[in-house]
Amino acid sequence: MPPEHITIAKEEEANKDPLEGVPSKYHQYTKVFREEEFNKLPPHRHYDIRIKLMEEGPLNSPLYSMTDAKSATLKDWLRDKLKARKICPSKSSISSPVMFVPKKDGSCRLVVDYCHLNNWTKKNVYLLPCLDNLMAQLCGAKVFTKLDLQWGYNNVQVKEGDKWKTAFHTKYSLYKSLVMTFGLTNTPATFQHFMNNLFKDLLDVCVIIYLDNILIYSKNDVDHTKHVHKVLWRLMKNQLFCKALKCTFHVMLVEYLGIIVSNKGFSLDKLKIQAVQEWPTPTKVKEVQSFLGFANFLQQFVANFSHT
Protein backbone atom coordinates (compact mmCIF):
# COMPACT_ATOMS: atom_id res chain seq x y z
CA MET A 1 0.00 0.00 0.00
CA PRO A 2 1.54 3.37 -1.03
CA PRO A 3 2.38 5.81 1.80
CA GLU A 4 -0.16 8.47 2.69
CA HIS A 5 0.53 11.96 1.32
CA ILE A 6 -0.64 15.40 2.35
CA THR A 7 -2.27 17.77 -0.12
CA ILE A 8 0.38 20.11 -1.41
CA ALA A 9 -0.30 23.33 -3.31
CA LYS A 10 0.77 22.87 -6.91
CA GLU A 11 2.33 25.93 -8.47
CA GLU A 12 1.67 24.69 -11.96
CA GLU A 13 -0.44 21.90 -13.41
CA ALA A 14 -0.21 20.25 -16.80
CA ASN A 15 -2.52 21.61 -19.46
CA LYS A 16 -3.53 19.55 -22.49
CA ASP A 17 -3.88 22.64 -24.67
CA PRO A 18 -1.22 25.24 -23.75
CA LEU A 19 -2.94 27.84 -25.94
CA GLU A 20 -6.37 27.43 -24.41
CA GLY A 21 -7.90 30.89 -24.01
CA VAL A 22 -5.17 32.60 -26.05
CA PRO A 23 -6.55 34.55 -29.06
CA SER A 24 -5.34 33.13 -32.38
CA LYS A 25 -3.58 36.38 -33.28
CA TYR A 26 -1.09 35.62 -30.51
CA HIS A 27 -0.42 31.99 -31.43
CA GLN A 28 2.89 33.02 -32.99
CA TYR A 29 4.11 33.21 -29.38
CA THR A 30 3.30 29.56 -28.73
CA LYS A 31 6.68 29.12 -27.06
CA VAL A 32 5.59 31.47 -24.27
CA PHE A 33 2.79 29.08 -23.32
CA ARG A 34 4.27 25.66 -24.15
CA GLU A 35 4.44 23.28 -21.18
CA GLU A 36 7.77 21.73 -22.16
CA GLU A 37 9.48 25.11 -21.92
CA PHE A 38 8.70 25.44 -18.23
CA ASN A 39 10.90 22.65 -16.92
CA LYS A 40 14.19 24.13 -18.03
CA LEU A 41 16.78 25.95 -15.96
CA PRO A 42 16.51 29.66 -16.84
CA PRO A 43 19.57 31.33 -18.37
CA HIS A 44 22.00 33.29 -16.25
CA ARG A 45 21.10 36.97 -16.31
CA HIS A 46 22.56 40.22 -15.03
CA TYR A 47 19.86 40.11 -12.35
CA ASP A 48 20.76 36.72 -10.87
CA ILE A 49 20.16 37.03 -7.14
CA ARG A 50 23.22 37.66 -4.97
CA ILE A 51 23.45 36.65 -1.33
CA LYS A 52 25.98 38.92 0.38
CA LEU A 53 26.62 38.06 4.01
CA MET A 54 27.28 41.01 6.34
CA GLU A 55 29.45 38.83 8.57
CA GLU A 56 29.72 35.26 9.70
CA GLY A 57 26.90 34.19 11.97
CA PRO A 58 24.88 31.13 13.02
CA LEU A 59 23.69 29.87 9.63
CA ASN A 60 22.65 26.34 10.53
CA SER A 61 19.28 25.29 11.89
CA PRO A 62 18.03 21.95 13.24
CA LEU A 63 16.00 19.59 11.09
CA TYR A 64 12.23 19.93 11.59
CA SER A 65 10.32 16.75 12.36
CA MET A 66 7.73 15.50 9.86
CA THR A 67 4.91 12.99 9.81
CA ASP A 68 5.12 10.00 7.48
CA ALA A 69 2.62 11.67 5.13
CA LYS A 70 4.71 14.85 4.97
CA SER A 71 7.88 12.83 4.43
CA ALA A 72 6.32 11.00 1.49
CA THR A 73 5.19 14.31 0.00
CA LEU A 74 8.65 15.79 0.56
CA LYS A 75 10.22 12.90 -1.33
CA ASP A 76 7.95 13.55 -4.31
CA TRP A 77 8.70 17.27 -4.17
CA LEU A 78 12.45 16.63 -4.19
CA ARG A 79 12.09 14.25 -7.14
CA ASP A 80 10.12 16.82 -9.16
CA LYS A 81 12.52 19.68 -8.38
CA LEU A 82 15.56 17.57 -9.26
CA LYS A 83 13.94 16.53 -12.54
CA ALA A 84 13.16 20.17 -13.36
CA ARG A 85 16.77 21.10 -12.50
CA LYS A 86 15.64 23.68 -9.97
CA ILE A 87 17.73 22.05 -7.20
CA CYS A 88 20.74 19.73 -7.01
CA PRO A 89 22.66 17.83 -4.31
CA SER A 90 24.98 19.96 -2.17
CA LYS A 91 28.00 19.67 0.13
CA SER A 92 27.53 23.12 1.65
CA SER A 93 28.82 23.85 5.15
CA ILE A 94 25.59 25.71 5.98
CA SER A 95 21.96 24.71 5.57
CA SER A 96 18.38 25.68 6.36
CA PRO A 97 15.44 23.40 7.22
CA VAL A 98 12.32 22.76 5.14
CA MET A 99 8.77 22.88 6.44
CA PHE A 100 5.17 22.74 5.27
CA VAL A 101 3.14 25.94 5.58
CA PRO A 102 -0.68 25.62 5.58
CA LYS A 103 -2.73 27.59 3.03
CA LYS A 104 -6.27 28.91 3.30
CA ASP A 105 -7.60 26.26 0.92
CA GLY A 106 -6.43 23.49 3.25
CA SER A 107 -3.41 22.48 1.19
CA CYS A 108 0.20 23.04 2.22
CA ARG A 109 3.18 24.67 0.57
CA LEU A 110 6.67 23.34 1.10
CA VAL A 111 9.16 26.12 1.81
CA VAL A 112 12.71 26.48 3.06
CA ASP A 113 13.03 28.38 6.33
CA TYR A 114 15.83 30.81 5.49
CA CYS A 115 15.33 32.81 8.70
CA HIS A 116 18.92 32.49 9.93
CA LEU A 117 20.42 33.13 6.49
CA ASN A 118 18.21 36.20 6.00
CA ASN A 119 19.32 37.67 9.34
CA TRP A 120 22.92 37.80 8.09
CA THR A 121 22.17 38.80 4.49
CA LYS A 122 22.79 42.35 3.27
CA LYS A 123 19.39 43.73 2.22
CA ASN A 124 18.53 44.84 -1.29
CA VAL A 125 16.73 48.19 -0.87
CA TYR A 126 15.10 48.23 -4.32
CA LEU A 127 11.50 49.25 -3.66
CA LEU A 128 8.36 47.49 -4.80
CA PRO A 129 5.80 49.65 -6.65
CA CYS A 130 3.24 51.62 -4.68
CA LEU A 131 -0.24 50.28 -5.43
CA ASP A 132 -1.71 53.79 -5.62
CA ASN A 133 0.81 54.77 -8.29
CA LEU A 134 0.10 51.63 -10.32
CA MET A 135 -3.65 52.22 -10.28
CA ALA A 136 -3.21 55.86 -11.27
CA GLN A 137 -1.66 54.76 -14.56
CA LEU A 138 -4.87 52.95 -15.52
CA CYS A 139 -7.09 56.02 -15.65
CA GLY A 140 -8.66 56.28 -19.10
CA ALA A 141 -7.82 52.70 -20.05
CA LYS A 142 -10.65 50.64 -21.55
CA VAL A 143 -9.08 47.30 -22.57
CA PHE A 144 -6.97 45.01 -20.38
CA THR A 145 -4.88 41.85 -20.63
CA LYS A 146 -3.46 40.15 -17.54
CA LEU A 147 -0.50 37.79 -17.79
CA ASP A 148 0.67 35.44 -15.05
CA LEU A 149 4.30 34.35 -15.25
CA GLN A 150 4.95 30.65 -14.94
CA TRP A 151 7.28 29.73 -12.05
CA GLY A 152 7.48 33.33 -10.81
CA TYR A 153 10.68 33.81 -8.86
CA ASN A 154 12.16 30.60 -10.27
CA ASN A 155 12.77 32.47 -13.54
CA VAL A 156 15.90 33.99 -12.00
CA GLN A 157 18.99 31.95 -11.16
CA VAL A 158 21.09 32.26 -8.04
CA LYS A 159 24.41 33.93 -8.88
CA GLU A 160 27.38 31.61 -9.30
CA GLY A 161 29.37 31.53 -6.09
CA ASP A 162 26.28 32.08 -3.94
CA LYS A 163 24.34 28.88 -4.59
CA TRP A 164 25.95 27.04 -1.67
CA LYS A 165 24.30 29.55 0.68
CA THR A 166 20.84 28.38 -0.40
CA ALA A 167 21.51 24.84 0.85
CA PHE A 168 18.68 23.14 2.71
CA HIS A 169 18.66 19.86 4.56
CA THR A 170 16.03 17.16 4.65
CA LYS A 171 15.93 13.72 6.23
CA TYR A 172 16.96 12.34 2.84
CA SER A 173 19.93 14.51 1.89
CA LEU A 174 21.37 18.01 1.51
CA TYR A 175 20.41 20.11 -1.53
CA LYS A 176 20.92 23.63 -2.86
CA SER A 177 18.66 25.78 -4.99
CA LEU A 178 19.83 26.77 -8.45
CA VAL A 179 17.04 29.32 -8.86
CA MET A 180 15.69 32.15 -6.77
CA THR A 181 13.04 30.95 -4.35
CA PHE A 182 10.35 32.26 -2.06
CA GLY A 183 11.79 32.83 1.40
CA LEU A 184 15.08 34.50 0.52
CA THR A 185 15.00 38.04 1.90
CA ASN A 186 16.00 39.77 -1.34
CA THR A 187 13.82 37.74 -3.70
CA PRO A 188 10.98 40.31 -4.16
CA ALA A 189 13.36 43.25 -4.68
CA THR A 190 15.55 41.30 -7.11
CA PHE A 191 12.59 40.11 -9.16
CA GLN A 192 10.93 43.53 -9.33
CA HIS A 193 14.22 45.11 -10.45
CA PHE A 194 14.54 42.47 -13.17
CA MET A 195 10.98 42.97 -14.45
CA ASN A 196 11.16 46.77 -14.33
CA ASN A 197 14.36 46.79 -16.36
CA LEU A 198 12.97 44.31 -18.88
CA PHE A 199 9.89 46.46 -19.57
CA LYS A 200 11.27 49.90 -18.69
CA ASP A 201 10.21 51.52 -21.98
CA LEU A 202 6.64 50.17 -21.65
CA LEU A 203 6.08 50.89 -17.96
CA ASP A 204 3.40 53.53 -17.37
CA VAL A 205 2.81 53.58 -21.14
CA CYS A 206 0.86 50.36 -21.61
CA VAL A 207 2.11 48.08 -18.82
CA ILE A 208 2.18 47.97 -15.03
CA ILE A 209 4.00 45.21 -13.18
CA TYR A 210 3.95 44.05 -9.60
CA LEU A 211 6.39 41.16 -9.22
CA ASP A 212 5.09 38.40 -11.56
CA ASN A 213 1.72 40.07 -12.20
CA ILE A 214 1.67 41.85 -15.56
CA LEU A 215 -1.24 44.05 -16.62
CA ILE A 216 -1.38 45.49 -20.14
CA TYR A 217 -3.78 48.40 -20.63
CA SER A 218 -4.89 50.49 -23.61
CA LYS A 219 -7.53 53.02 -24.62
CA ASN A 220 -8.78 50.99 -27.59
CA ASP A 221 -8.62 47.46 -28.97
CA VAL A 222 -6.38 48.30 -31.93
CA ASP A 223 -3.67 49.78 -29.72
CA HIS A 224 -4.14 46.97 -27.23
CA THR A 225 -3.31 44.32 -29.81
CA LYS A 226 -0.05 46.14 -30.57
CA HIS A 227 0.77 46.41 -26.87
CA VAL A 228 0.12 42.73 -26.19
CA HIS A 229 2.31 41.77 -29.16
CA LYS A 230 5.16 43.85 -27.72
CA VAL A 231 4.90 42.24 -24.29
CA LEU A 232 4.61 38.65 -25.54
CA TRP A 233 7.52 39.13 -27.95
CA ARG A 234 9.68 40.42 -25.11
CA LEU A 235 8.72 37.52 -22.86
CA MET A 236 9.58 35.03 -25.61
CA LYS A 237 12.89 36.74 -26.34
CA ASN A 238 13.87 36.58 -22.67
CA GLN A 239 12.72 32.99 -22.11
CA LEU A 240 9.90 33.89 -19.75
CA PHE A 241 6.71 31.88 -19.90
CA CYS A 242 3.04 32.21 -18.97
CA LYS A 243 0.26 29.86 -17.96
CA ALA A 244 -2.54 30.46 -20.47
CA LEU A 245 -5.27 29.33 -18.07
CA LYS A 246 -4.23 32.04 -15.63
CA CYS A 247 -4.12 34.79 -18.26
CA THR A 248 -6.96 37.05 -19.39
CA PHE A 249 -7.00 38.70 -22.83
CA HIS A 250 -8.80 41.77 -24.17
CA VAL A 251 -11.35 42.33 -21.40
CA MET A 252 -13.00 45.48 -20.09
CA LEU A 253 -13.00 44.29 -16.48
CA VAL A 254 -10.23 42.42 -14.69
CA GLU A 255 -9.09 41.60 -11.17
CA TYR A 256 -5.55 42.80 -10.44
CA LEU A 257 -3.91 42.54 -7.01
CA GLY A 258 -7.28 42.24 -5.32
CA ILE A 259 -8.73 45.28 -7.11
CA ILE A 260 -11.42 45.13 -9.79
CA VAL A 261 -10.27 47.34 -12.67
CA SER A 262 -12.60 48.50 -15.45
CA ASN A 263 -13.11 51.41 -17.82
CA LYS A 264 -15.43 52.85 -15.17
CA GLY A 265 -12.84 52.89 -12.40
CA PHE A 266 -11.84 50.69 -9.49
CA SER A 267 -13.67 48.66 -6.89
CA LEU A 268 -12.66 46.23 -4.18
CA ASP A 269 -12.64 42.49 -4.73
CA LYS A 270 -15.29 40.64 -2.69
CA LEU A 271 -12.60 38.65 -0.90
CA LYS A 272 -11.04 41.88 0.37
CA ILE A 273 -14.41 43.04 1.68
CA GLN A 274 -14.92 39.67 3.35
CA ALA A 275 -11.48 39.95 4.94
CA VAL A 276 -12.51 43.21 6.62
CA GLN A 277 -15.82 41.80 7.81
CA GLU A 278 -14.12 38.75 9.33
CA TRP A 279 -11.03 40.51 10.68
CA PRO A 280 -10.41 39.29 14.25
CA THR A 281 -10.08 41.83 17.06
CA PRO A 282 -6.36 42.73 17.35
CA THR A 283 -4.72 41.76 20.63
CA LYS A 284 -1.10 42.65 19.85
CA VAL A 285 0.67 45.77 18.58
CA LYS A 286 1.73 44.01 15.38
CA GLU A 287 -1.87 42.94 14.72
CA VAL A 288 -3.06 46.54 15.18
CA GLN A 289 -0.37 47.76 12.77
CA SER A 290 -1.44 45.14 10.24
CA PHE A 291 -5.09 46.21 10.46
CA LEU A 292 -4.21 49.92 10.15
CA GLY A 293 -2.11 49.18 7.08
CA PHE A 294 -5.02 47.37 5.47
CA ALA A 295 -7.40 50.18 6.48
CA ASN A 296 -5.10 52.70 4.83
CA PHE A 297 -5.31 50.63 1.64
CA LEU A 298 -9.13 50.58 1.85
CA GLN A 299 -9.66 54.33 2.20
CA GLN A 300 -9.28 54.97 -1.53
CA PHE A 301 -12.38 52.82 -2.15
CA VAL A 302 -14.64 54.09 0.64
CA ALA A 303 -16.25 57.53 0.49
CA ASN A 304 -15.79 59.60 3.68
CA PHE A 305 -13.60 56.84 5.08
CA SER A 306 -12.05 59.13 7.70
CA HIS A 307 -15.51 59.81 9.15
CA THR A 308 -16.51 56.15 9.55
Position 304 pLDDT exceeds 60: no
d(CA 239, CA 216): 19
Please name the residues in contact with 200: beta carbons below 8 A apart, sequence gap of 6 or more: none
pLDDT in tens, 96-146: 999 988 876 677 888 999 999 999 999 999 999 998 899 999 999 999 999
d(CA 234, CA 226): 13
The neighbouring-strand residues paired with 203 are 207
- What rounded mean pLDDT belongs to the chain? 86
DSSP character string of 141-195: --EEEEEEBTTGGGGSBBPTTTGGGG-EE-SS-EEEESB--TT-TTHHHHHHHHH
Q: Where are the CATH 3.10.10.10 domain residues in the chain?
A: 24-268
d(CA 217, CA 224): 7
pLDDT tier at 61 (50, 70, 90 boundaries)? confident
24-268 carries CATH number 3.40.190.10: no
Percent of the chain scoring above 90 in pLDDT: 57
Q: b/e per residue, 176-205, with b = 16+ CB within 10 A? A: bbbbbbebbbbbbbbbbbbbeebbeebbee
Q: Of 204, 200, 257, 205, nearest to 234 (Cα)?
A: 200
CB distance 238 to 198 below 8 Å: yes
pLDDT in tens, 27-41: 999 999 987 666 678
Lowest mean pLDDT among 205-209, 272-276, 281-285, 301-305: 301-305
Position 308 pLDDT exceeds 70: no
Between 14 and 110, where is the model more confident? 110
